[in-house]
């Protein structure tokens, strides 16, 4: 397959998110401790619930607007009935972000595969739905070692829109082609585990796609039935063997 740009999803593709919910629970307890006092476990539970419901709402939003973590925090803080100044709110948000950072685990071999692709001359990017504030997303990507290997990184919390909104893919394409967006995107490969977000939407824009196959039940069956990826892989570690070993445009 001849491509020149490869755009990766993050969760379920380059990293696993199994420990994320626990980290957010811990972070909510710390944040509640700062805003509502150390023994208000009810406030912590309500904060965590507010995040999950904001994320579910964002997922169902017709224009796919991303959660504003700071707005969710501010609404929750005012609902505690305690006076909350900006300083304390910032400290609560930082506690939440710091607790989340470190909770994503690199897929084994993914870093080596990404490095291999970079060394061959492919331009690489990340396009991720993440409702955590961008600073923490960038820190976590750097901690995993991916940040220095990627030419562009686009988080939904930065763009304000989630996949499958066109805006987030277009932002990635704009950064991948600083001299101008090509009309034909067939030399861009999108790689991810969601049949709707990482295959159907980018394929509809003319990109090639690779679906990372996961265990059943993670994504709706109807999405799998509609998705027509160019490649099906069990992990990103399979990509180097499937792409041109010489890299994009050998000799030219």
**Which spans of this chain sit near Mg ion (rule: CB under 5 A)?**
9, 11-12, 193
Q: Closest approach of Cβ 109 to Mg ion, in Å?
A: 17
User: In the complex with Mg ion, which residue's Cβ is closer, 71 or 205?
Assistant: 205
Strands (E), the chain: 5-8, 15-16, 105-106, 123-128, 152-155, 188-192, 208-212, 231-233
Strand-pair partners of 126: 8, 153
Going by the DSSP 8-state scheme, the letter that residue 128 receives in this structure is E
Q: Closest approach of Cβ 228 to Mg ion, in Å?
A: 18
Query: Nearest-CB residue to Mg ion?
Result: 12
User: In the complex with Mg ion, which residue's Cβ is closer, 12 or 248?
Assistant: 12
User: In the complex with Mg ion, which residue's Cβ is closer, 9 or 171?
Assistant: 9
Q: Closest approach of Cβ 188 to Mg ion, in Å?
A: 18
User: In the complex with Mg ion, which residue's Cβ is closer, 164 or 247?
Assistant: 164
In terms of Cα–Cα distance, which of 191, 188, 223, 21 is closest to 104?
21
Coil, strand or helix at 58: helix
Dig out the tokens for 137 from the structure: 């997303």
36 and 76 in contact (C-beta within 8 Å)?
Answer: no
User: In the complex with Mg ion, which residue's Cβ is closer, 84 or 197?
Assistant: 197
Q: Closest approach of Cβ 91 to Mg ion, in Å?
A: 31
Coil, strand or helix at 154: strand
Q: Closest approach of Cβ 144 to Mg ion, in Å?
A: 15
């Amino acid at each position: 397959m001849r491509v020149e740009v490869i755009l990766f999803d993050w969760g379920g593709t380059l990293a696993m998110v199994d420990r994320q919910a626990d980290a957010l629970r811990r972070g909510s307890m710390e944040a509640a401790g700062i805003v509502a006092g150390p023994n208000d476990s009810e406030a912590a539970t309500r904060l965590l619930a507010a995040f999950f419901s904001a994320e579910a709402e964002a997922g169902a939003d017709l224009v796919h607007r991303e959660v504003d973590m700071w707005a969710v925090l501010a609404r929750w803080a005012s609902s505690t009935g305690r006076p909350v100044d900006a300083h304390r709110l910032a400290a609560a948000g930082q506690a939440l972000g710091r607790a989340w950072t470190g909770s994503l685990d690199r897929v084994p071999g993914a870093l080596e595969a990404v490095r291999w692709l970079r060394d061959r001359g492919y331009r690489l990017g990340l396009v991720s739905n993440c409702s955590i504030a961008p600073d923490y997303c960038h820190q976590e990507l750097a901690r995993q070692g991916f940040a220095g290997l990627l030419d562009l990184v686009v988080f939904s919390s930065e763009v304000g829109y989630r996949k499958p909104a066109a805006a987030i893919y277009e932002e990635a394409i704009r950064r991948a082609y600083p001299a101008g967006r090509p009309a034909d995107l067939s030399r861009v490969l999108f790689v991810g585990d969601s049949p709707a977000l990482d295959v159907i939407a980018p394929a509809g824009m003319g990109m090639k796609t690779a679906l990372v196959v996961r265990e059943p039940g993670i994504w709706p069956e109807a999405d799998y039935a509609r998705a027509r990826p160019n490649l099906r892989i069990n992990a990103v570690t399979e990509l180097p063997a499937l792409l041109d070993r010489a890299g994009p445009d050998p000799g030219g």
